[in-house]
Chain A
Amino acid sequence: MEMRLLLSLLLAGLVSTVAALSAQGSKLLVVLEDESEKSRYSQFWTDLEDRGFQLTYRTPKDPQLSLFRHGEPAYSHLLLLPPGKGTKGLGPNLTPNLLVDFISAGSNVLMALSGEQSIPSAVSSLLLEFDISLPPDRNSMVVDHFNYDSSSAKESHDVLLLPGKNAGGSKKGVADILSVDGILALPHAVGAVLGNASPLLNSIIKAPATAYTYNPKEEQEGVEDVFATGDQLSLVTAFQARNSARFTLLGSVEALQDAWFDTTVQHSAPGSKSEQAANRAFAQKLTGWTFKELGVVKAGPVTHFLNEGSQQNTSDLTTLSDINPSIYRINTEVHYTIELSTWSVDHWVPFTPPASDAVQLEFSMLSPFHRLNLAPTTTPANPNASLFTATFTLPDQHGIFNFFVEYRRPYLTNIEEKRTVTVRHFAHDEYPRSFVIMAAYPWITGIWTTVAGFVGFCALWLYSRPEKERVELKVKEAGGR
């Protein structure tokens, strides 16, 4: 046991030195159409390499390109740049099937599209696997005549400017992971419509209310049949699978290019000033999220114990004699603790849920009997995790129950921790005795009165003396006759 622990510690140490940043791994495969394209993203590559990723560049036609080796994913992460003009798809090594298998195996994918190029049907069908629909036009672009960069797209209005603080949705109870200060420039973006049914899909950046898609190749002067408008269009989309693998669709690949990292942009609204685009910061956050540097939550040990008698309100769990018992009795008070930590750059730190959100514990048999918000606390004894605790009374129902923490939230990896315990009913000698129940006193008194009466009767039977001498009944009777 100790040997194994030592080994795993050693292994963990090794892994942590190799993976400097991502909680998952550092091997990143970049698929791009040709080598000449690579130079346009030099700052982006440098940023990734500085953060500890090992980049491998391949073209879709490269015979060496394979997502799997010996049936296991050969890379932790995949970055797909849009396939070039004239290609039908991503090639035989990147079919939608293989990419879905790659994600099912737990690897992460960042896919970038461009409105400048036509989108192959292979990409559309891959996206449909995630319930993301692209416009039926293979050439489509989002324009907004109200929020464009007037310094670079004065006429064409196809460089969208959006506030970076809305990235990741400023919804209540959702972790704010992707927002950046400043303004984002998304040139020639492809907008997608997200299916409503899946909780796995989230729009990181929606198009402004006045935006719409159109086909720039079409000669028509006005749009009359529009695919989607306004914030129905998602420009950057996040998909997190049930195994916490991440897939991100970036509608505008040009936003990652050097040209848009340092450029100054000016909003089309009159009176607005030129400012530096925040694309570089956003690209870091977006790749950070996709490649599991951000929003990674891990569950540590789970403890539960009977919070009664000598164990009541124990803060030092090591002193407990009976930890994580397999059986409890109904109506007893139980203390539950789970450790959660989140990945921060290169180590684990205590996890705190976003405002107005809570980690919840369900105590359930088929359906939850209790669903409680857990209170986070940190202890100096464990600086890498926060303890989420609850103390509650077990239901008055015996059976097989689960302590179940299921924490699934947008942009955070999934936590699912289940501990099964038996809850038994009272044993025959655990009920309160009759002498502590006031209502039982008439009955108790009845029994002991009877006992006293019996003893008295026995004494009377044994020792009573007739008061008068017995008269001869026979004689009297005879005399009477």
Chain B
Amino acid sequence: MKLLPSVAVAALSLTTAVAAVGWSFEDATLTVQAKSSGVGGAVKEKLSPESPLSDPVTLSASDSLKIVLTATEGTTGRRPHQAFLTLHEPTTGLVESFPFSLKDNGKGKVEFTPKDLPYQLASPPSGVALQASILIASFGTSAPYNHATFTLTLPPSPNEPLTAPETPERYAAKPEIHHQFRAGPAQPPRLLSTLFTFAILATLPVLLIVTTALGGNLGHVSAAFGAAPVAHGVFVGSLLAMEGVFFAYYIGWNLFQTLPVAGVVGIVAFVSGGRALTEVQERRVKGER
């Protein structure tokens, strides 16, 4: 569709130069009548078929625009079959035409208000002016006329804002969506974790030193093992084995593996612990503790 109008326009500029008889218009007046202003308060402009108006015409929401002209074939006034005022929105390419009502002698007029325009033309993007052209043509061999005549700006009305119609559905690719993932778990600074790890580790030597200072020792190991070697060996071994079971559970065992082993180790600790504590009691009775 882009090619055709340009072809037509290029062709037309040729036609007007070459063809002797062509459609045109004369005595054209454009009037913008504001609703509030009375007679004589209207803006009037002379339209020329050769050159468009230099300044844009402003049409407010309450105004009405009227064009009066005489269509001519060659030099005589005649009624053409087609006499349109065409408004063209350059950004979307949308076009709306208003036919002139004409008399036999070619005199005609067209009148419209912004309310007659479809939404897409009545509210163009800000800064965009509608291109208005007059189109006069008929059957036969006379060259048709189609020229841009003026530009029309439609300031938005603050009192009655137009309601935009819903955008109709069209099949096309939709914008991409990428899922926004929740932020991962946050970690405290590694330095802090290391610091506290060592602080906790340091409690073990502190405990050892304090115990020693308060008189703790392992001086009866040989005596205890001499008196009841099996009971003490098995009891201490089962205590360590129970910690080993807990470690295995932490590393990979499940409860079904842990519980039987813990049960066996527990029974061994119970039985051997009884014997070992008997030996400890004997020492106490002897007054060695």
Contacts and interface: CB of A to CB of B under 8 A. Distances in A.
A464 B220 contact: yes
A173 B172 contact: yes
Contacts of B97: 212, 226, 229-230
B215 A455 contact: no
Given A146-B146, A221-B81, A438-B190, A465 B11 contact: no
Contacts of A470: 287
B1 interface: yes
A325 interface: no
A460 B248 CA distance: 26
B132 interface: no
Contact of A371 (B1, B168, B177): B177
A373 interface: yes
Nearest to A354: B173
A145 B139 contact: yes
Contact of A449 (B96, B139, B200): B200
B239 to A, nearest CB: 6
B1 A206 contact: yes
A465 B288 contact: yes
B207 A453 contact: yes
Contacts of A439: 187-188, 193
Nearest to B84: A229
A396 B211 CA distance: 52
A92 interface: no
Given A146-B137, A368-B177, A463 B219 contact: yes
Interface residues of B, number: 88
Nearest to B283: A465
Contact of A451 (B12, B81, B243, B276): B243
Contacts of A34: none
Interface string A163-187: 1001000100100000000000000
Given A162-B4, A163-B3, A463-B224, A210 B146 contact: yes
Contacts of B276: 462
A360 B173 contact: yes
Number of chain A interface residues as a range? 35 or more
Interface string B173-196: 111111101100001101001101
A446 interface: yes
B174 A156 contact: no
A300 to B, nearest CB: 21
A467 B211 CA distance: 13
A222 B95 CA distance: 21
28 contacts: A145-B138, A146-B11, A162-B4, A173-B173, A199-B170, A199-B171, A206-B1, A212-B82, A212-B97, A214-B81, A221-B104, A222-B102, A223-B99, A226-B84, A230-B97, A268-B11, A270-B18, A270-B19, A331-B181, A373-B173, A393-B179, A438-B190, A438-B194, A441-B193, A446-B200, A464-B216, A464-B220, A470-B287
Interface of B: 1-5, 7-8, 10-12, 14-15, 18-19, 79-84, 86, 88, 93, 95-97, 99-102, 104, 135, 137-141, 144, 146, 168-179, 181-182, 187-188, 190, 193-194, 196-197, 199-201, 203-204, 207-208, 211, 215-221, 223-224, 232, 236, 239-240, 243, 246, 276, 280, 287-289
